[in-house]
Structure 1
């Protein structure tokens, strides 16, 4: 960037972006600068812009003071998992694998159906299926043979990320970033490069594909000049309108006193999809495991950053750290047990720095012999589907059991999902108050909504002006107390007037909970139905 940028939430993004100050040899947890005041070397805005989306309490960005405590929640697996197993002829090799390490899961709001592009046989093929409810899936033939394979081993043989793009020209409505392990695609006749200070024994080129229907694909442009390791992916930051390379490779790093070549991520961003192949050798070091990530007691090795994908949800990015717990491949090939990778939730408000308030897995490996999700858990690109009152997160896992019952580390992959309450990553709980930092909103804001769970009449709200004084007629005493368990409750005051007078003003909100209540989020809306204006993940399902 050539100049400082002010983001949608008021955060100032420096002209030197993206940052190049993350040290691969440090195992300290990185605090996002937007959580620090300027006096602490940070860039927290003096006034936070909450125009976009529901406002979640995943960190202290919004909070000036509180005596409530933060509780992080784990997703609950669907009782009928897995929802997709290896059953079609193309899927029924001895290992029987279908998974989410490639492709994507999205909800098409226009056609009112779920669309899934999924990995077949653990890398070589890409299959396609549809569903009306996200549970029962139908494989859709793409040609007269009846096969649902949209990309074969002659082209794919690696990971890929699929995206619907409703704003694109019709013939390019679907986009794919393909990271191919095919050697002939990686034999380049021009100079190539790796990320600076990175090391990887297996580096592969990438390519871009586009499609009118998501079934029939054509390559767009040449191969990348930048090479990288397996599990290199791409995601779209819809809040900043940036395409992001999540570059997987190895780098010299440290965990405690142990120094080793570990799995890490480098970063690059672009305004256009077409530029995803143009990341430079100066792409900055980005993500790794730190000292707060525990060593798995069974594997006994430092954890590593296996994969990372993210998607915009309401007013922030929700990322999934796929953390490798061990053991190494030579061990699992001997034991026949899947390696352990698990998904840890992460949150960002500037698109680069992520906080992880809970180092437990939001979706763990079950580690249960014979279970479909025993180990090697992969998140889905897209994958976060928003329903009225919940979020569904799609992922895959390995049982380590072949179709004929033998143990094999890379066998028995299937796809399932787990659910959270809507906005349900983190709640502020207890009996007490929470006061926000100074905020502003630049849209119609007649209605104030909360996502809360508390006893009857246990929640009250008052509004404060820029000086922190209670705004007349919007005090706790004027507020009509509310309660119950709802992901969308409107706050009202006795005089019956709304809150649109706050538009373009600086103000704060004080929430008061009693009797062990729970507060998940809040937002202003010009719509009595509570439309937030935020980003709804990989699609919104209006039906229950």
Structure 2
């Protein structure tokens, strides 16, 4: 009798490193088996054309977030990160004075909130700043680091408690990006005395972000570089690592349009669909007084950003101060802040969107339809996030891979879907159970009138 061998920790690390290297060099176009894209029971958002084969009378629509009233005491520091850690929201941003990027007078500040709207400044007493320890400073008196300290909550399975939080920080003049770890997100230790990520060309003069990728099974870092196919522009490169210590050769993402500077990337896994990375880069216009606005991009891993939407996601708006020099930076991470609501932050302003509501398949006053590419799924029910007008509706037909309606799941069998729900189970005359056709290649035909479809998911029984 023979037994399967369990890989040693070293060989497992080698295999993971090889997988990360392949992820860094994978082709940019999405690939899938001839019998369909396997979406399993993942939630899919309509932020790109990944699942779409045909659109007739419909379009993908980017939805603008709504600014909430400005509350007293709201943090406004640059290069902010917001992390939802259980019931606690943690915010990190830059303060202090500086004559240059990485000046030792720069500081990193820490804030807390229980609702993502009202913030407190805990008196940590860690560093004396301006003659007092009564402050919320967590990084101070260190050259290069506080300029762009960017932490994340490490969600890698098996991560040790003392390294539950990780961060990257540093600028090119300081040697590159240094790694930091923390057990509580407040007290930080430098992982190594040498930088973890370096660059031969000028880089890192921005907020450089990292996270554990559940879908790619490695750490990913998106950082500032300058070389694009359109010449010398502020842009984004990417590197990956199996252990946060050894990083692959960087790959230029090159998402810029001609003449377009992308100041930050703000790339992070979307909390309800972590295989989709949401990016909220700041677009920088040097010839317009260094004014800025916020863009919207996505990625599904590899060295590619999808730019289905080329117009601004968040405009500077009516406030004259928001048209000033570098006045708009989106904080890293979109976070849930209520039933059906998620929040993103631009300096001191909080913006809200419907859950999954970055973009939708949109139908106006005439009926249109979407036909999906062939897909395979696992699950018992089809749940959708949608909104209709009082006169609008949505109907969904399940077809075989050739486009023929599957008996019992035709358009005439689908009960009209009317209303506004973050989650609603699609029902046909025979019921809502689709498990009998799970794992078979299918297409979805979605017919819509005066409505928006934000996301869909084939859901296993008992799953929220």
- Same fold at TM > 0.5: yes
Check whether the contact 2:253–2:305 (CA below 8 A) recurs between aligned residues: no
Q: Structure 2: how far apart are the matches of 1:386 and 1:440? A: 32
1:311 maps to which of 258, 261, 268: 268
Q: Structure 1: how far apart are the matches of 2:222 and 2:55? A: 36
2:88 maps to which of 103, 110, 113: 113
The answer to whether structure 1 residue 522 and structure 2 residue 450 are counterparts is: no
Shift in Å, 1:494: 2.1
Task: Report the counterpart of residue 37 of structure 2 in structure 1.
Answer: 48
SS in 2 for 1:481: coil
Deviations 1:13-70 (A, max 9, x none): 998653499xxxxxxxxxx522xxxxxxxx4653111125321222222112221122
Mark the CA change 1:422 to 1:252 in structure 2 (over 3 Å): closer, same or farther: closer
Check whether the contact 2:278–2:298 (CA below 8 A) recurs between aligned residues: yes
Task: Report the counterpart of residue 15 of structure 2 in structure 1.
Answer: none
Q: Structure 1: how far apart are the matches of 2:447 and 2:137? A: 55
The answer to whether structure 1 residue 419 and structure 2 residue 346 are counterparts is: no
Q: Structure 2: how far apart are the matches of 1:381 and 1:371? A: 19
Mark the CA change 1:361 to 1:497 in structure 2 (over 3 Å): closer, same or farther: closer
Check whether the contact 1:235–1:309 (CA below 8 A) recurs between aligned residues: no
Deviations 1:334-382 (A, max 9, x none): xxxxx22222110122342111122222122237424598853112223
Q: Structure 1: how far apart are the matches of 2:111 and 2:21? A: 43
Aligned length: 416
Mark the runs of 5 or more structure 1 residues left unpaired by the alignment.
1-12, 22-31, 35-42, 86-97, 187-203, 255-259, 292-301, 333-338, 397-414, 532-544
Task: Report the counterpart of residue 226 of structure 1 in structure 2.
Answer: 198
Shift in Å, 1:141: 2.3
Check whether the contact 1:129–1:140 (CA below 8 A) recurs between aligned residues: yes
Mark the runs of 5 or more structure 2 residues left unpaired by the alignment.
1-18, 127-132
Mark the CA change 1:222 to 1:383 in structure 2 (over 3 Å): closer, same or farther: farther
1:324 maps to which of 268, 277, 284: 284
State how 1:66-465 maps to structure 2 within 5 Å.
66-67=55-56, 68-80=58-70, 84-85=74-75, 98-102=76-80, 104-109=81-86, 112-121=87-96, 124-143=106-125, 145-154=133-142, 156-166=145-155, 167-180=158-171, 186=174, 204-224=175-195, 226-227=198-199, 228-231=203-206, 233-236=208-211, 237-251=213-227, 254=230, 261-275=232-246, 278-280=247-249, 283-291=250-258, 302-313=259-270, 314=273, 315-327=275-287, 339-366=290-317, 368-370=319-321, 375-385=326-336, 387-396=338-347, 415-430=348-363, 431-442=367-378, 445-454=379-388, 455=390, 458-465=393-400
SS in 1 for 2:263: strand
SS in 2 for 1:508: strand
Q: Structure 1: how far apart are the matches of 2:146 and 2:177? A: 11
Task: Report the counterpart of residue 13 of structure 2 in structure 1.
Answer: none
Give me the TM-score of the superposition, normalised by structure 1: 0.70
Instruction: Name the stretch that deviates more: 156-165 or 75-84.
Output: 75-84
Shift in Å, 1:459: 1.9
Instruction: Name the stretch that deviates more: 472-481 or 362-371.
Output: 362-371
Q: Structure 2: how far apart are the matches of 1:490 and 1:526? A: 12
Q: Structure 2: how far apart are the matches of 1:14 and 1:246? A: 14
Deviations 1:113-170 (A, max 9, x none): 2111221136611111111111111112223743211111325332121111254211
Check whether the contact 1:364–1:377 (CA below 8 A) recurs between aligned residues: no
Check whether the contact 2:23–2:301 (CA below 8 A) recurs between aligned residues: no
Check whether the contact 1:100–1:381 (CA below 8 A) recurs between aligned residues: no
Shift in Å, 1:81: 5.7
Check whether the contact 1:342–1:365 (CA below 8 A) recurs between aligned residues: yes
